Amino acid sequence: MAKSSTTFRYDYAQSPPVDQVGIAERAARFTTRSIKTSTKREGLNMVLNMIDLTTLEGADTPRKVQQLCYKAGHLHDAIPGLPHTAAVCVYPPFVKVARKALGNRSPIKIASVATGFPSGHLTLEGKREETKRAVGDGADEVDMVISRGRFLSGDYDYVFDEIAAIKEACGKARLKVILETGELATLDNVRRASDIAIHAGADFIKTSTGKISSAATIPVTLVMLLAIRDYHFKSGNMVGMKPAGGISKSKLALHYLVMVKETLGPEWLSNEWFRFGASSLANDVLMQIAKIESGGAYQSPCYFSQD
């Protein structure tokens, strides 16, 4: 069930304290699951279809964005029958380039970071303008960053209202709210920030910008999944999840899928509700699929295009 556009004030005191020992124990168990080869092959295809291929560098050029868009839709060139990725994610000035490269009928979504990514240090009006411009240029999704300074200062109303304002500015585009969990210091803060974002209208909650060393981890992602689960139990509405940064190996990605299925259920195992923000992951998935298809022989990384 999709989330309604109506937001309501959330009582921040309701965010439950996180059982850190329990989270650590559950997180460790997800990494011990044994996955059969046939299930692994299906899971790798699923992972590939959940990746947001991303280029968010100061040296980005239209040509680099065009190449990224081509790779997103032509993974089957490497191995026949592969799915496309979920989306390409670019800075706002390159949304038009991505839209032209993909065309209007492509199933691949265009995501644009906005709101002063990665710092979030823009005025609210500036954030709204950047969001509206990205959507107007063809973005299907907007990845915003919360104001971590305001959050850590305890100004939760400001964070809530800012997210709600950007959600409104998105129009029909879906909103992914980046918490930058590496800067939130505690799992209790991660849970509270997740609750605020969800109740303010986020369509997805996302761990990280990928611009700081501490990015997605299984314990942090589990805490965020539990916030989504609790909200779903109370409202019946679904919210998506996107771990980003630090997930570069297929084995780890498959552990994440196990965690999602066991925490939220199989309904979340599609790119409509779960994404990976990890471009380097795509090449490792391709290598693992090629190994299975060839009966155990690894391909060299040089056979796959670099992002």
Is 71 one of the annotated active-site residues of the chain? Answer: no
Q: Token pair for residue 69?
A: 């868009």
pLDDT tens for each residue of 26-79:
999 998 887 877 789 999 999 999 999 999 999 999 999 999 999 999 988 878
Whole-number Å distance between alpha carbons of 173 and 150? 25
Calculate what percentage of the chain has a pLDDT beyond 90: 80
pLDDT at 4: 45
50 Cβ contact list (under 8 Å, min separation 6): 85, 86, 270, 271, 274, 275, 276
pLDDT at 2: 46
Element (H, E) at 69: helix 62-73
Catalytic hit among 96, 140, 242, 284? 242
Neighbours of 246 (CB within 10 A): 20
pLDDT at 39: 87
- pLDDT bin (cut points 50, 70, 90) of residue 305 is low
189 Cβ contact list (under 8 Å, min separation 6): 151, 152
pTM: 0.92
- Ramachandran sector of residue 141 (left: φ over 0; alpha: ψ -120 to 50; beta: rest): beta
Predicted confidence (pLDDT) at residue 245 exceeds the cutoff of 50: yes
Max Cα–Cα distance, the chain, nearest Å: 56
Is 206 one of the annotated active-site residues of the chain? Answer: yes
198 Cβ contact list (under 8 Å, min separation 6): 205, 227, 228, 231, 239
pLDDT at 196: 97
**Domain spans of the chain, in order of start:** 12-303
- pLDDT bin (cut points 50, 70, 90) of residue 198 is very high
Catalytic hit among 143, 195, 203, 284? 143
Helix ranges (DSSP H) in 236-275: 250-263
pLDDT at 293: 85
**Which residue is listed with tokens 């999704």?**
141
Is 167 one of the annotated active-site residues of the chain? Answer: no
pLDDT tens for each residue of 207-244:
999 998 878 999 999 999 999 999 999 999 999 999 99
pLDDT at 75: 87
- Report which residue type is found at 189: N
Spatial CA neighbour of 109 closest among 67, 166, 52, 47 = 52
Calculate what percentage of the chain has a pLDDT beyond 70: 93
User: Is 12-303 in CATH node 3.20.20.70?
Assistant: yes
Predicted confidence (pLDDT) at residue 100 exceeds the cutoff of 90: yes
pLDDT at 37: 77
Distance of CA 145 to the CA centre of its chain: 12
